């Protein structure tokens, strides 16, 4: 479906046919742009950036590349094409036609989920806003900005739903989305991971690998939703998300490959002495962001999750093709719970374990990423490997929060944990070391010392193309 770019808000939802809605969104637009100026990428607003912009929602060829100043990016409202005669794929309403409007009984839960999803998008832009001061190359700088403008568009995607389907409450929530701030003590973002600092590029690459990947799984589960406009919105967001994930995965891989090169140059194999980021440090950042991202799935045992599934609000990953019993009424899920200082396998009704089921799909995907990193390490002749910690490790949400676990999942006492914490998670010294490497490199084609060059550029352009032209 092609997109109308003649309007102030590009869209493929025939916005001009609903003047009230159009006016309301055009009223929100300047507030969004003010927010972007205040909280978007600092110092680069007047620069030309080689960005892709969505021009259609077709599977092939939806993007157009060109030099754009970020505040002039055409943020718009794009839904994937409707599926003819789409039916509810799971839960108590299985087989019924999907909803084109919000049923009264699900109004509150749908609004809360959409607000929560929406909140993460501007949050990530806020977390990343200082990274432009220390980019390892123009190529990376451009990727950061591509991710940032698309997270801004994801906010638009959700704000459209709030305005269109949730009336006055929706408009209030859309405003509140521009008021909360990542990491703010008084008015923080909703979910924990989006209040954590993102001060350096290793963090950025781990965040886009693991936290954006939560986005992939949450969006996929909402793409199953009985509320069809939400499903269609999420389906198109997923096409944008794939790039964010590859920025993260490739970024971490380039750090690892550079670590091997620098180790080879040092008589003792000391990567830090050669100005690189050693694999141990990468592992600690992986542990940190993987565990924070696991928290984003909510508790392993959750009555909210059961309600969402029963109502047809949130499905499992690829509900239609990967699962056979779409009601999940009589099935159980077994998971180890802490009981009197021991882990005991415990049965919970499957519907209450839906957060855990989605998290498991996420973990499998994350394992594939780690496998690709390890293959790259192996091909470069190294026998060091990255591993994912247990899903119990370093959790602050869910049934393992409040307990301590080693990366292999062993239950620990508080003292045992405290003694090993800095071996498993970034210490102050690790963070200070990584921060010390963050010096900007803005000559075309040049890379910071601690990261390998990418294999190829963007959209078939060479790596040394001038992806960002500073104003």
Among 22, 98, 99, 121, the residue binding ligand BYC under the rule CB under 6 A is 121
Q: Which is nearer to ligand BYC, 22 or 209 (CB)?
A: 209
Choice from 129, 181, 189, 244 touching Fe ion (CB under 5 A): 244
d(CA 401, CA 242): 30
**Contacting Fe ion within 169-228 (CB under 5 A):** 212, 215
Question: Using CB under 6 A, which of 214, 249, 278, 430 touches ligand BYC?
Answer: 214
Smallest CA-to-CA distance from 190 within 95, 115, 248 is with: 115
- Contacting range for ligand BYC; rule: CB under 6 A; set: 52-60, 297-305, 424-432, 452-460: 297-305
Binding mask 365-404 for ligand BYC (x = CB under 6 A): --------------------------------x-------
Pick one of 74, 154, 189, 394: the residue that binds Fe ion (CB under 5 A).
154
Our CB check for ligand BYC shows the closer of 48 and 228 to be 228
320 binds, among ligand BYC, Fe ion, none (CB under 5 to 8 A by kind): none
Residues near ligand BYC (CB under 6 A), total: 25
Q: How far apart are the first and last CA of the chain?
A: 35
310 beta partners: none
Evaluated on CA atoms 269, 270, 273, 279, the torsion sign reads positive
CA angle (123 as vertex; 432, 27 as ends), nearest 5:
145
Q: Does 173 bind ligand BYC (CB under 6 A)?
A: no
- Identified binder of ligand BYC from the candidate list 355, 356, 366, 391, rule CB under 6 A: 355
Tally: H helices and E strands in the chain: 13, 7
Closest to Fe ion by CB, 134 vs 143, is: 143
3-state secondary structure 16-49: HHCHHHHHHHHHHHHHHHHHHHHHCCCCCCCCEE
Tell which phi-psi region holds residue 182, choosing left (phi > 0), alpha (psi between -120 and 50) or beta.
beta
177 scored as a contact of ligand BYC (CB under 6 A): no
Q: Segment contacting Fe ion (CB under 5 A): 7-15, 154-162, 175-183, 199-207? A: 154-162
- Residue burial 271-295, b: 16+ Cβ < 10 Å; e: rest: bbebebbbbebbbbbbbbbbbbbbb
User: Which residues are at the interface with ligand BYC (CB under 6 A)?
Assistant: 113, 116-117, 120-121, 124, 151, 191-192, 211-212, 214-215, 218, 295-299, 302, 304-305, 314, 355, 397
């Amino acid at each position: 479906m092609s997109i109308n770019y003649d309007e102030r808000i590009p869209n493929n939802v025939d916005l001009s046919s609903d003047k009230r809605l159009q006016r309301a969104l055009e009223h929100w637009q300047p507030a969004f742009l003010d927010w972007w100026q205040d909280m978007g990428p600092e110092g680069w607003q007047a620069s030309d950036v080689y960005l892709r912009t969505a021009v259609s929602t077709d599977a092939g060829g939806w993007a157009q590349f060109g030099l754009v100043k970020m505040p002039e990016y055409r943020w718009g409202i794009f839904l994937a094409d409707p599926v003819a005669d789409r039916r509810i794929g799971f839960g108590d309403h299985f087989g019924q036609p999907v909803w084109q409007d919000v049923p009264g009984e699900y109004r509150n839960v749908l609004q809360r989920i959409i607000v929560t999803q929406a909140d993460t998008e501007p949050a990530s832009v806020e977390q990343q806003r200082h990274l432009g001061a220390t980019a390892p190359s123009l190529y990376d700088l451009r990727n950061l900005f591509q991710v940032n403008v698309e997270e801004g568009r994801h906010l638009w995607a959700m704000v459209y739903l709030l305005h269109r389907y949730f009336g006055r409450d929706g408009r209030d929530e859309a405003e509140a989305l521009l008021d909360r701030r990542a990491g703010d003590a008084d008015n923080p973002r909703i979910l924990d991971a989006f209040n954590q600092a993102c001060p350096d590029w290793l963090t950025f690459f781990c965040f886009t690998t693991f936290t954006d990947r939560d986005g992939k799984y949450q969006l996929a589960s909402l793409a199953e939703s009985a509320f069809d406009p939400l499903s269609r919105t999420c389906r198109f967001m997923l096409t944008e998300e794939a790039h964010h994930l590859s920025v993260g995965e490739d970024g971490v891989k380039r750090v690892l490959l550079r670590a091997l090169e620098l180790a080879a140059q040092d008589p003792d194999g000391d990567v830090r002495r050669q100005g690189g980021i050693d694999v141990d440090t990468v592992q600690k950042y992986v542990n940190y962001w993987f565990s924070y991202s696991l928290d984003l799935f909510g508790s392993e045992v959750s009555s909210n999750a059961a309600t969402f599934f029963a109502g047809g609000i949130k499905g499992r990953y690829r509900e239609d093709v990967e699962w056979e019993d779409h009601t999940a009424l009589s099935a159980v899920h077994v998971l180890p719970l802490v009981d009197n200082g021991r882990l005991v396998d415990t049965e919970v009704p499957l519907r209450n374990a839906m957060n855990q089921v989605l998290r498991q799909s996420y973990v499998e995907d994350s394992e594939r990423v780690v496998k690709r990193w390890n293959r790259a390490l192996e091909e470069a002749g190294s026998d060091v490997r990255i591993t994912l910690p247990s899903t119990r490790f370093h959790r602050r949400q869910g049934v393992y929060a409040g307990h301590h676990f080693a990366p292999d999942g062993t239950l620990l006492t508080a003292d045992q944990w405290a003694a090993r914490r800095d071996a498993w998670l970034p210490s102050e010294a690790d963070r200070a070391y990584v921060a010390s490497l963050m010096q900007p490199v803005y000559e075309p084609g040049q890379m910071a010392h601690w990261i390998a060059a990418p294999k190829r550029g963007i959209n078939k352009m060479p790596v040394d193309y001038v992806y960002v032209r500073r104003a």
